[in-house]
Amino acid sequence: MLIWRIGVNAIPTKENLQVRLPHIDTSCPLCNASVESSIHIFFECPFARALWAAACWGLSVDPASIRTPTDITKLIMEPPASPILAQEQWTVSLNMALVIDEIWRSRNLKQFCDVNADVMSAKRNIHSRFLEIAKAFTPDMIKPNELANFRWNPPPLGWIKINVDAALNRYKSAFAVVARDQLGEVLFLWGKIHHACPPALAEAEALHWAVQLAIKERWQNVMLEGDAKNCIEALTSDDATPD
């Protein structure tokens, strides 16, 4: 319902309320820096930008690509491509919708109860609701034969598993990296286009990029998983030397 109200511009942002109440303060209650429009409160406000980065698997949404409230609804219903399995693509829309809902909830708590918005607390709320909803719908959404073709084993407690893959054609290659914890919760997902190269080299460079990302995030206990047998065996071989 919230996403529909945003799409038809019926949500009571201060910009919309000013049409009927011309003397109200139109500043955003979370940052007090701009007029509170739908685009500002959900994408431009510093709190919103921080929450997108923290709670939506590292997804960065460019506010310049959101010009109307309808664009917000379209973004949720047709999210950017991701390396997540086809049968799990619906979870991207779910997580994005929960981010939108949590931003509006935080805004209302500040506006009406003077409760300061907290990014980490909001992130925990989103993840808790995501796991609850996903658990309820997953058995009905995934067919038994699809489950049989894919089995993901979680890492030990306190570890992070990073799945890596590379795809290529004649003109370019592409890397996808997904990081999950022991509960299977997606912590981050990354993807990038790379120049054309031989398959083995593409897989090796994807693994190298995954290691660089793990170092950047300062993760101490990391497991790498991929389908490039030669590369994985080279890393786990007793003859492997740091380079």
In a domain, 202, yes or no: yes
Residues 34, 70: one domain?
A: yes
Residues 90, 28: one domain?
A: yes
In a domain, 154, yes or no: no
The confidence score (pLDDT) of residue 185 equals 83
Number of domain units in the chain: 2
Residue 148: pLDDT band with limits 50, 70, 90? very low
In a domain, 119, yes or no: yes
In a domain, 241, yes or no: no
Look-up of token digits 């460079």: 205
Residues 207, 142: one domain?
A: no
Structural domain including 7 reads 2-146
Residues 128, 32: one domain?
A: yes
The confidence score (pLDDT) of residue 14 equals 96
Note the pLDDT tens digit of each residue in 34-48.
999 999 999 999 999
Residues 116, 169: one domain?
A: no
In a domain, 242, yes or no: no
For the four alpha carbons of 119, 121, 123 and 126, in that order, the dihedral sign comes to negative
**Average model confidence (pLDDT) across the chain:** 84
The confidence score (pLDDT) of residue 242 equals 53
Mean pLDDT of 124-135: 87
In a domain, 152, yes or no: no
Residues 18, 84: one domain?
A: yes
Residues 198, 85: one domain?
A: no
pTM above 0.85?
no
Residues 115, 165: one domain?
A: no
Check which CATH number belongs to the domain holding 175 and give it: 3.30.420.10
Residues 107, 208: one domain?
A: no
Residue 241: pLDDT band with limits 50, 70, 90? low
In a domain, 155, yes or no: no
Q: Does the pLDDT of residue 146 top 60, yes or no?
A: no
